Structure 1
Amino acid sequence: MMNMIMSQKKALNNITRMCYQAKSRRTLNKVAMEIIMQIYN
């Protein structure tokens, strides 16, 4: 259980970094879709 929380935190950090790097809104949408897929898989 703890492991899952940690990996989710790590994923969130990666997401935040990607969002900062993403210049256009289209890229952000793509990143958001990627996040959603990762969460549900």
Structure 2
Amino acid sequence: MGLVFCSFRRRRGVYACWLKINSSMARIIKKAFQNIEFSKKLTF
């Protein structure tokens, strides 16, 4: 069974949903998301 995680980002006005298959997959997605946010801080 997977867990559907939904969140709304006000900055971009995007409502996104992710399907977390397991804790390890969730960790990978979380790490990748943090890397994207970090790169955005460097560019802006």
Count of residues in Structure 1 that have an aligned counterpart in Structure 2: 29
Question: 2:22, 2:34 → 1: CA distance?
Answer: 19
Stretches of structure 1 lacking an aligned partner (at least 5 in a row): none
Of the two, which has the highest radius of gyration?
2
The root-mean-square deviation of aligned C-alpha atoms, in Å, is: 1.4
Q: Deviations over 1:10-37 (max 9, x none)?
A: 3xx33xx12xx11100000000001100
Structure with the largest fraction of helix: 1
Choose from 18, 38, 41 the match for 2:36.
38
Stretches of structure 2 lacking an aligned partner (at least 5 in a row): 1-10, 40-44
TM-score w.r.t. length of structure 2: 0.52
Runs of 4+ in 1 over 6 A off after TM superposition: none
TM-score w.r.t. length of structure 1: 0.55
Percent sequence identity is 0
